[in-house]
Amino acid sequence: MVLETTFRSGGGEARLIDCFTMRKGGAEDPHRQILRVVEGTRGEMELEAVIRPRFDYAEVRPWIRKHGERFFSAIGGNDGLLIVTDADIQPGRDHDLQFRVSVREGQRVRLSLHFVRPERLDPAPPTPDGPEELDGRLEETIRWWRRWSKIEGPYGAAAARSAMVLKSLIHAPTGAMVAAPTTSLPEVIGGQANWDYRFSWIRDSSFAVRSLAQLGCEAEADGFRRFVERSAAGHAEDLQIAYGVGGERRIGESELDDLPGYRGSRPVRIGNAAATQRQLDVYGHLLELSWRWHERGHSPDDDYWRFLVDLVEAAARDWCRPDRGIWETRGRPQHFVLSKAMCWVALDRGIRLSRECARRAPMGRWTKTRDEIRRALESQGYDRRRGVFVRAFGGRAMDASLLLLPTVGFVDYGDPRMVRTTDAVSDGLSRDGLLMRFRPPAGGPSEGVFLPASFWLAECLARQGRWDEAREVFDRAVSAGNDLGLFSEELDPAAGEMLGNFPQGLTHLSHIAAAAALSGSHPPE
């Protein structure tokens, strides 16, 4: 997570090193500092820098003040920056700062942007970091990431890269993992499917615990698990599907009309109205989370067990209701198959936890409801003529989320019904070797392929023993990443353009799971 960019011009060459500075044991008090270092590597190069801070989504142009030689502050509302460089920096004309510098081989110029609460900048800011300290923070950051990212295995390098991305999406003080660090990067260029993903989804927690634990990243998996449990615990009727990184519940959606959006894709949104949707799969994800942690030797205590019982009861009560599903549709609620299956998971894991932890529960009623959900799924959520599971009750359309059915244990990977469903999803939703979420409605905008789904397909194929097909899908999905190994949410295969928020945590989680499935594959000679 330390970016190095090389610039060449004429006979000169320089590299720019960017990072968020890290420090050991700094979760409770992180630096909150962007460090940029320009270093001459050959000949001489001249570079120009413009520092144009903007706060509150560009509505606030800051008050910039000079405090000493090459030492400025920028204040706007509740935000503040300490700006330090060893270049000859000058105020610009538009609430900005500028400098021009020539670097020869071996020379360095540093620029630090350090977030500081404005009350600490007025009347006098703290003493700025000097060149030696900034160089030390860069080296410490490099060592920090190298220590953290030592992950082995046949797909170790690729999986380690995704794990690093996920680590960088974690808000260290709480353990929350954001779905992506961006808002309003469009799913359709010029369209309105522009969402804010800077929040932590319950759904992602079970994926995260599974994928990170597979790589031995137990502390990160446990931190996210505990964040979700803290944020969601209480009463099932108060449950949200997403929270702010501090556990905030109020993340209502609003639009910023003054911003043009990415390549004219409007509106730009902050907040996410989907947080208040009814999405029945969250019950199953929370019970699956508790079950997985129980398998690692950590059983729920008395207080959390009461909350889990409340969740199971809610799943038993609500499973027959329509919902918005994993895709958070904003149209008419439907009886999505995956949502029902996750309610089955909630009942099933509740029953298992009750038995293994010797906890009191209405086992007879839970078992009856669990079996009732399965019968409904195998009749109304199953197309007997084709022998496949379908997207929603009574329909024929396919959906990439069906590939998750064996992941949560509803059906075995090798079950003939699942093998046929895997093939039907692949055949019906493939586009240039990658998968769409579902077929868009007639006349609607055509979105890109959904990259996590391609990794889901690769995992299914690998666990069905179809190694060559799995590797082909996996390699095609990996090729959709950029040169830094970062994945977006979606891709336009024809244009080769990334779509949606970036980097997308779910894509990287799914990449790790598929890599783990393939790393355990031993095809017959």
Q: Locate 140 and state its tokens.
A: 């410490």
Distances (CA, A) of 127 to 22, 122, 139: 19, 13, 21
**Bridge partners, 67 (sequence order):** none
Q: Assess contact for 38 and 9: CB atoms under 8 A.
A: no
Tokens representing 115? Answer: 């977030």
User: Helix 467-478 vs helix 451-463: angle between axes, to the nearest 10 degrees?
Assistant: 160
Instruction: Return the percent helix, strand and coil in the chain, to nearest 5.
Output: 40, 20, 40
What pLDDT digit, counting tens, does each position of 499-512 carry?
Answer: 999 999 999 999 99
Nearest to 491 by CA among 178, 185, 155: 185
pLDDT of residue 154: 59
288 within domain boundaries? no
**Cα–Cα distances in angstroms (integers) from residue 283 to residues 212, 354, 364, in the given order:** 21, 16, 20
Q: What distance in Å separates the CA atoms of residue 223 and residue 177, rounded to the nearest whole number?
A: 9
Q: Rounded distance, CA 485 to CA 1, Å? A: 11
Segments of 29-121 assigned E as strands: 33-42, 44-51, 63-68, 71-76, 79-85, 90-91, 97-104, 108-115
DSSP letters along 136-161, please? HHHHHHHHHHHHHT---STTHHHHHH
Asked if residue 49 belongs to a domain, the reply is: yes
Flag whether 503 is in a domain: no
Report the candidate in 218, 6, 23, 15 with the shortest Cα–Cα distance to residue 107: 15
Provide the residue range defining the domain that includes 54: 3-121
Spell out the SS3 assignment of 489-513.
Answer: CEEECCCCEEECCCCCHHHHHHHHH
Q: How far apart are CA 297 and CA 204, in angstroms?
A: 22
Token pair in block for residue 279? 């999405």
Residue whose entry in the numeric block shows the structure tokens 């009574």: 394
**pLDDT value, residue 128:** 85
Phi, psi (deg, nearest 5) at residue 293: -70, -30
Percent of the chain whose pLDDT exceeds 70: 97
* Residue 42 in domain: yes
DSSP state of 234: S
Q: Is residue 22 part of a domain?
A: yes
Query: Residues, the chain, total?
Result: 525
Instruction: Looking at 319-440, list the stretches that DSSP marks H as alpha helix, in order from N- to C-terminal side.
Output: 337-356, 363-380, 416-429
Q: Please, where are the H alpha helices in 187-266?
A: 202-214, 218-232
**Predicted structure pTM score:** 0.93
- The CA R_g of the chain, rounded to the nearest whole Å, is 25
Tokens representing 295 are 């398998």
Residue 301 is which amino acid? Answer: D
CB 398 within 8 A of CB 424: yes
CATH code of the domain containing 74: 2.70.98.50
Query: Which amino acid makes up residue 315?
Result: A
**Number of independent structural domains in the chain:** 1
Q: pLDDT tens string for the chain (525 positions)?
A: 999 999 999 889 999 999 999 987 766 678 899 999 999 999 999 999 999 999 999 999 999 999 888 899 999 988 999 999 999 998 888 889 999 999 999 999 999 999 998 888 877 888 888 999 999 999 999 999 998 887 766 567 778 889 999 999 999 889 899 999 999 999 999 999 999 999 999 888 888 888 888 788 888 888 888 888 888 877 888 889 899 999 999 999 999 999 999 999 999 999 999 888 889 999 999 999 899 889 988 888 898 899 999 999 999 999 999 999 999 887 889 999 999 999 999 999 999 999 999 999 999 999 999 999 999 999 999 999 999 999 999 999 999 999 999 999 999 999 999 999 999 999 999 999 999 999 887 766 678 899 999 999 999 999 999 999 999 999 999 999 999 999 999 999 989 999 999 999 999 999 999 998 998 744 433
As a whole number of angstroms, the distance between CA 268 and CA 265 comes to: 8
Give domain status of residue 442, yes or no: no
Mark 269-289 as b/e (b = at least 16 C-beta within 10 Å): bbbbebbebebbbbbbbbbbb
Q: Which residues pair with 38 in a beta bridge?
A: 16, 109
Paired strand residues for 334: 323
Q: Where are the beta strands (DSSP E) in 373-486?
A: 382-383, 388-389, 430-431, 434-435, 449-450
- Residue 15, domain member (yes or no): yes
The answer to the question of residue 324 being in a domain is no
454, 460 Cβ separation under 8 angstroms: no
Per DSSP bridges, beta strands 490-492 and 449-450 are: antiparallel
